[in-house]
Copies of this chain bind each other. A is one copy, B any other.
Amino acid sequence: MAQRAPLGVAVIGTGRMGTDHVRRIQQVTSGARVSAVVDVDAERAKAVAARVDGCTAYPDPAAAMAAADVDAVLVASPGPAHEAALLTAFEHDLPVLCEKPLAPDAATALRIMEAEQKLGRRRVQVGFMRRYDPEYAKLKALLETGQLGRPLMLHNRHRNVASPPFFTSDMLITDSVVHETDAARWLLGDEITAVTVLRPNPSSNAPDGLLDPQFIVFETDGGAVVDVEIFVNCGFGYQVQAEVVCERGTARIGDGHALVTNMAGRWGGTIAQDFTDRFEAAYDLQIQAWVDATRRGEVTGPSVWDGYAAAAVCETGVTALTEGGRREVELIDRPELYRS
């Protein structure tokens, strides 16, 4: 738990994802700071840097990576720019988190892989963030216990409210299903060996000419069959669901609630055994809210009045428990300080 200096991160690309990562590193992540931002649009980079204390804007990745306060690189530029950024990071021997896709095609990815191999050790983490989703993580952990037996099939649903104007039929695969590609490989521990794509009637809510939805079937070298419904103009919401069917049961995530299993005559989920499990997020958010308010010079959250009222009610409750019957709670008038 040592308080070493925070990690200085150069964020390459300040579009939607890059800007969001800058915010995240500054306001959410513990132990890191954004020390550099890079964008081909120099004005944009400067504007982002101006909002972050001790952050410098650079017009190109190489200059940023040469800076003394850059310890690591987060690549959030468009896919075709990834290769150059990664090779530059390799030259500076910097660790990289590279947004997906790693590269726009397999040949480019292969070149990046060869370059990393020459370094003799891994430097790159690819941004397949579903592996960090708490539900996917629980699903993976459950599979690893072996309780359900070997996975035989994986059913996926991937639905977006509406696709952006530039979306093409190919992008349903390369931009959306790419996530299921990684999730399937990771959950099953298999490589995908064959692909079949079925084309249902396009929805009348999809833009003209867009083949949406598609139904895709993967086969794996472990003998599993994976199906993916991709529907990017479903209209009703964003849904990512996965059900693994194993030899002794199934497990499903993404219904808007918890991991649900079918096993041995019962469907259902687990119940937390402890308040630290149930309320971990609440504790984290409480402390962050208190730190943020304090740094702004404010006091928010439950007040001393709230602490007093709870104490008075509990005292009365103990009397009611001991003596029986209905007991009235007595409170002083609420002071001015606690009235807002």
Q: List chain B residues, Cβ under 8 A from A12.
A: none
Pairwise interchain contact A199-B106, C-beta atoms closer than 8 A:
no
| Residue of B117, B214, B237 touching A321 (CB-CB under 8 A) | B214
Q: List chain B residues, Cβ under 8 A from A321.
A: 169-170, 173, 197, 199, 211, 214
Min CB distance A188 to B, Å, is 11
Pairwise interchain contact B113-A308, C-beta atoms closer than 8 A:
yes
Pairwise interchain contact B314-A133, C-beta atoms closer than 8 A:
no
Q: List chain B residues, Cβ under 8 A from A338.
A: 113, 122
Pick the 6 closest A-B CB pairs, nearest first: A268-B268, A257-B257, A102-B307, A237-B271, A201-B223, A3-B53
A64 within 8 A of B: no
A43 within 8 A of B: no
Pairwise interchain contact B7-A26, C-beta atoms closer than 8 A:
no
Which residue of B is nearest A292, CB measured?
B31
Q: List chain B residues, Cβ under 8 A from A264.
A: 235-236
Q: List chain B residues, Cβ under 8 A from A216.
A: 317, 320
Q: List chain B residues, Cβ under 8 A from A225.
A: 198-200, 215
Having A98-B307, A196-B325, one finds 6 other A-B pairs with CB under 8 Å, namely: A101-B307, A117-B335, A131-B286, A160-B275, A170-B318, A266-B271
| Residue of B192, B215, B238, B294 touching A271 (CB-CB under 8 A) | B238
| Residue of B104, B113, B204 touching A247 (CB-CB under 8 A) | B204
Q: With A122-B299, A299-B122 known to touch, is A26 a contact of B1 (CB < 8 Å)?
A: yes
- A284-328 contacts to B, CB under 8 A, are 284-295, 299-321, 324-328
Q: With A72-B294, A197-B321 known to touch, is A278 a contact of B240 (CB < 8 Å)?
A: yes
Pairwise interchain contact B54-A3, C-beta atoms closer than 8 A:
yes
Which residue of B is nearest A323, CB measured?
B197
The count of residues in chain A whose C-beta lies closer than 8 Å to any C-beta of chain B is 191
Min CB distance A19 to B, Å, is 10
Pairwise interchain contact A299-B173, C-beta atoms closer than 8 A:
no
A276 within 8 A of B: yes
A-B CB contact pairs (8 Å), 25 listed? A1-B26, A1-B53, A3-B26, A24-B284, A24-B287, A29-B291, A72-B291, A95-B294, A102-B307, A122-B304, A124-B299, A124-B304, A126-B301, A130-B282, A132-B283, A150-B203, A174-B317, A185-B306, A196-B327, A237-B270, A237-B273, A238-B272, A239-B278, A260-B268, A267-B271
Q: Give the complex CA separation of A33 and B5 in angstroms.
A: 12
Pairwise interchain contact A117-B181, C-beta atoms closer than 8 A:
no
A143 within 8 A of B: no
| Residue of B182, B198, B317, B332 touching A110 (CB-CB under 8 A) | B332
- A23-46 contacts to B, CB under 8 A, are 23-33
A60 within 8 A of B: no
Which residue of B is nearest A331, CB measured?
B191
Q: Give the complex CA separation of A331 and B1 in angstroms.
A: 42
Q: With A196-B326, A291-B32 known to touch, is A238 a contact of B201 (CB < 8 Å)?
A: no
Q: List chain B residues, Cβ under 8 A from A293.
A: 125
A248 within 8 A of B: yes
A263 within 8 A of B: yes
